[in-house]
Structure 1
Amino acid sequence: MNENQDKRWERVERYIAMDQPTPARALLESILGRNPDDVRAHLVMGGLEIAEGHIRAATRHALAAARDLPDEADAIGSVIAALMQVGEIVEARRCLDHPCIGKSESPTVLMRSAAQRQMLGEHETSLALIERAGRFGASGPDFQFYRAVQLSFNGRLDEAEADLESCILADPPLGRAFLQLSRMRTQTPERNHLPRIEQALTRAEPGSENEAGLEFARYKELEDIGRHTEAWEALTRANRLMYRRLAHDPAREAAILGSLAQVDLGKPTDAVELSLAGPQPIFVIGLPRSGTTVLDRILGNHSQVRSAGELGDFARLLIWATDHCATVVPDEVIVDRLGRVDWRELGRLYLEQTQWRARGRPFFIDKLPRNWMVAGLIHRAFPRAPIVNVVRDPMDVCFSNYRALFGDAYPYSYDLDALAQHHRQYKRLMGRWHEAFPGAILDVDYARLVREPEGVAREVFAFCRLDFEAGCTDLKRNTATVATLSMAQVRQPIHARAFGEWRPYAEQLTSLRNALSK
């Protein structure tokens, strides 16, 4: 880089720091005029486009940055991050396969690449990168926790537990490590982590997510040993901490989903019947903790189906289709712009980014629970794609949400009133999708799935135009990685232990029960 170029970059950085994107953009355009393949300039320009809400322009810059990758793992990692942000997953994978990443001996590079592989659902590769990072010096509680999570995803639960036992000794304490450890098994009065959890709580930063994680762990272990009064106190403290940390606007959510329900999406036509040849999706939707992972494992046991995990591709491409950088999908702008969406193009782009996940099979499962919000939009893009909605008892599913630490994924779950309202929105919008597109969505009752797994599986397979195959309901037969809170449950036979888990707290949950009955 020559002296003039150095000065240009100094000015670009100064303009950006002063929040003056127009002169920064002009300088970046001059840099790209001299070198159209300047990776750094494309990345910074893409960031400016994102900040201004121009997702399509940002996509063009991310793809341009990937055209001629430097032999520098750090720079490649930044390109990958930009590609993933705009939904260019196939190109991101190509960049992740660059030899300088696999050969790297830098723990920082390897851990960043492991995180990116995890975001793509490639958990075996992610774990291999983590273990390589360990061989080249990565260590400490954060490293042990991250490795434990990946070991759990890959079904190596004993090794994960050993890592977690080591990393809970950290100071300050890792609340999520205690919680992950508490979930590994049912605790007993003789064997539990309560003394260590309570000691860690005295050292946790007040109001932090670490404190919330410790309270969730304390709740879990107290409940396991039957101390329900104390367990409820810990659970309410944990949820209060998380709800205060997150911005959630129930009124806004209700308004967005109410507006979405009023949109006339029209009817799918033959013109969008098949967007692209090759493997086709099966969508599994429902509220979190409704049983979607159990159904996903049953479907994934079929010889024609590959489970692809919880994919964010449809939401990312809906953002692209409406050229709007949304932080939640859908939002007001997306709903307002649905009339201009080219459904065939949206379907084609989705398949271009996801078909690799089928890995030789004709069907793949996209199991993102929150896709219930956009189920009608999915049907417009894929008129023949099966959409299966798992329905669980309202009290069971809401309490299961309330007792889970989802990070910032589902802010409504940390407040009982918000939970009840969210469940009502779910029921209303699913009713709207059924009304608008009769026969497009199959509702599966989770309780019946547990009681009659083969009978329900036959119905689901028929809906998905698949022949029934014996043994598909044997969850232990499915050895694929799983990265949800059900990771331990779905490695066991189907069971009914999850019914009525709220009943020890029936008195405290009276308001929730009343709200759900409205």
Structure 2
Amino acid sequence: MTAEATTRAAELKQAQAALQQGRFAEGLAMARALVQDDPGDGEALYLAAVAARYLKDYEAAEDWLSKLHRAMPEYGRAWQEAGHLALARGREAEALAAFVRATRFNPALEASWREQARLLAAAGRAAEAAMARRQQERLARLPRELVAVTNHLAEGRLLRAEEICRHYLRTHPRKDANHIEGMRLLAKVGIEFGVLEEAEFLLESAVAFAPDDVQLRLDYIDALRRRQNFAKAHEEAEKLYARDPASPVFRSRLAIESMAVGDYERGLELFDAVLQQHPRDPANLTSKGHALKTTGAREAAIAAYRAAIAAKPDHGDAWYALANLKTYRFGEDELAAMKEQAARPDLSFMDRVHIAFALGKAHEDREEYAASFAAYDEGNALKRAQTRYSADAMSAELARQKAVCTRDLFEARAGSGHDAPDPIFILGLPRAGSTLLEQILASHSQIDGTLELPDILALAHRLRGRRVGENRYPDVLRELTADQLAKFGRDFIENTRIHRAGAPFFIDKMPNNFRHIGLIHLILPNAKIIDARRDPMDCCFSGFKQLFAEGQEFTYGLREMGRYYADYVALMDHWDEVLPGKVLRVRHEDVLDDLEGQTRRMLDHVGLPFEEACLDFHRTSRAVRTASSEQVRQPLNRKGQGAWKPFEPWLGELKEALGDLAPREI
């Protein structure tokens, strides 16, 4: 911590101590000075709001809270303070709503649960009051260390949460009644860090110790889903559903997991059953819309998204889902409604992000490019601030691939790995046309289209080592034996079988696999690899406009996006050098110019005869889960070419980062 940060932390403690000792005017003055120095300091804004409330200056307290909500819309303690302020002003309904929101963002806030229980009971809502009371009593029984872990998790202090949680588990034996809750919390920390294998192990063990703990089982399913172990997640969801088939929570979870394993009919039936119970539930309406979109039922998907918005006008997920159809055009009334929601100071973080990206699309369709770029830029800036992405760290990671994966390494491992010829890896960058190539090839009778399979990325992550911060990959590739490489290859074939429909070949189109071509070649030397490449400016700007469900943090900044593209090209040049002929490069622009010629090139690379159906790819009926799902159901067109050009005045950082790959000035 810098000297300046240390001084500021001390000043915050002094202000907090003043409030604790009842010196509210003094504490307010200290907090105000801190806010003047840094208007976005959430802790100082919070202290100022508390001090103003105790001084009975309710309008000032509301003003401080408004600033805090805008700076940190999902800060649970801010909403708890809003509840206390509303109570002080005699506004009980407003207080209840604030306390509910507080516990949604931070479930460790015991006072918010207690006030919810009291207010709900007074309103005659006995069942809800009892649930809130149980949550409050549960927190009261938990050791203070685990309450602290929950609080740190909610407020984003992951390292501190992990430190306290690991210490608790080391110092308390497994027979301790709260050991399982400690395991659950440590798994949640692991999920936030992306250490999914450890999180899955912890939750699997905890479920074995406490099989009747529903929250544990829901968290376990979440971990399995994040690892894209869809078969196991579906199995666990079936177990929960069997306990209480009428439960809307269990129905909804099983619907989601049924969709993940390709059982769309059952998934939609379950969503409909949930919506019969709760017809205006925005989350389930949106999930149903996603399911319908995946299966190609565009109009029904739109109806579901619109119903979600009607039920909850600030439901950003549904607004962005409409934009993400790519073919949808917002009406004037919808544009006005989004602007109204975006202007709300209390809009939650992800709702604000979703609506910003949707506004970008709405303005772009109207050729209002300045407003469009401003909206895209806002959404990206919010996401960039949330991520821990480092362009320097990514460049170093890709440089390590070049240093380790040399021609000598591959020659020394010749003959290793599993000899299956089944996989076809389509890789590159997102928004580069990989979904189109997959749709073309999956229209062939001998090729199954699957998903963006996580297996290679998961294996690479596993090879890094189990501890947070440890990274033995890719150096560990030099140490792996022929038996280990063959086992990894066999495991890949077996673990991906659930996604296949019986064709001899199948496609894995995870774009980020380009980072791991060396690993792929070592474990599956007969796999085919296709690099989907698109014009740098088109590809990068398309990525910048896209809000990804998870991952792809490099897309949330023009400089980061351009640098990543340049690093990708350099690494692909390396693979061409050390594995000549291994990768077939297919440029999106060449596909647009000569669909049949490029299709024949790809089929020759795979070793299959040409089939006319590949040229009619848009008629192929299959589930498509990427952002391009609607686009690949249409005949080939050039709508995306040059889409960056109207935005050129704002793309200087992107061109600079691309360097020699950027278009030359004429």
TM-score (norm 1): 0.83
Equivalent-residue separation in structure 1 for 2:640 and 2:228 (angstroms): 36
Tell me the secondary structure at the aligned position of residue 310 of structure 2: coil
1:269 partner letter: A
Residue 391 (structure 2) pairs with residue 246 (structure 1): no
Equivalent-residue separation in structure 2 for 1:13 and 1:502 (angstroms): 55
Contact 2:452 2:508 in 1 (8 A): yes
Match of 1:467 in 2: 609
1:503 partner letter: K
Contact 1:310 1:368 in 2 (8 A): yes
1:199 to 319, 340, 346: 340
Equivalent-residue separation in structure 1 for 2:341 and 2:142 (angstroms): 46
Contact 1:173 1:203 in 2 (8 A): no
Change (3 A) 1:424 1:184: closer
1:339 to 465, 474, 478: 478
Residue 430 (structure 2) pairs with residue 285 (structure 1): no
2:285 to 144, 163, 174: 144
Match of 1:233 in 2: 374
Residue 580 (structure 2) pairs with residue 438 (structure 1): yes
Aligned-residue offset at 1:349? 1.7
Equivalent-residue separation in structure 1 for 2:265 and 2:357 (angstroms): 28
Contact 2:425 2:528 in 1 (8 A): yes
Match of 2:541 in 1: 399
Aligned-residue offset at 1:426? 0.5
The answer to which of 90-99 and 397-406 deviates more is 90-99
2:404 to 263, 266, 269: 263
Match of 2:555 in 1: 413
Aligned-residue offset at 1:144? 1.4
Change (3 A) 1:122 1:67: farther
Residue 628 (structure 2) pairs with residue 486 (structure 1): yes
The answer to which of 482-491 and 223-232 deviates more is 223-232
1:337 partner letter: V
Change (3 A) 1:200 1:104: same
Equivalent-residue separation in structure 1 for 2:377 and 2:195 (angstroms): 41
2:355 to 214, 229, 233: 214
Match of 2:246 in 1: 105
Identity over aligned residues, as a percent? 27
Equivalent-residue separation in structure 2 for 1:72 and 1:114 (angstroms): 21
Match of 1:180 in 2: 321
1:362 partner letter: P
Change (3 A) 1:28 1:453: farther
Structure exhibiting the larger radius of gyration computed from Cα positions? 2
Change (3 A) 1:479 1:101: farther
Residue 458 (structure 2) pairs with residue 307 (structure 1): no
2:360 partner letter: Y
Match of 1:4 in 2: none
Q: Which runs of 5+ in 1 are unaligned?
A: 1-9, 32-39
2:436 to 270, 284, 294: 294
> Pairwise mapping of residues 381-400 of structure 1 onto structure 2 (< 5 A)?
381-400=523-542
Contact 1:281 1:364 in 2 (8 A): yes
User: Which structure dedicates a bigger proportion of its chain to helix?
Assistant: 2
Aligned-residue offset at 1:420? 1.0
Change (3 A) 1:233 1:63: closer
Change (3 A) 1:83 1:419: closer
TM-score (norm 2): 0.66
Tell me the secondary structure at the aligned position of residue 474 of structure 2: helix
Contact 1:173 1:204 in 2 (8 A): no
Q: Which runs of 5+ in 2 are unaligned?
A: 1-139, 149-163, 661-666
Equivalent-residue separation in structure 1 for 2:448 and 2:194 (angstroms): 35
Contact 1:28 1:41 in 2 (8 A): no
Equivalent-residue separation in structure 2 for 1:466 and 1:17 (angstroms): 59
Tell me the secondary structure at the aligned position of residue 443 of structure 1: strand
Tell me the secondary structure at the aligned position of residue 286 of structure 2: helix
Contact 1:207 1:241 in 2 (8 A): no
Match of 2:48 in 1: none
Change (3 A) 1:220 1:53: closer
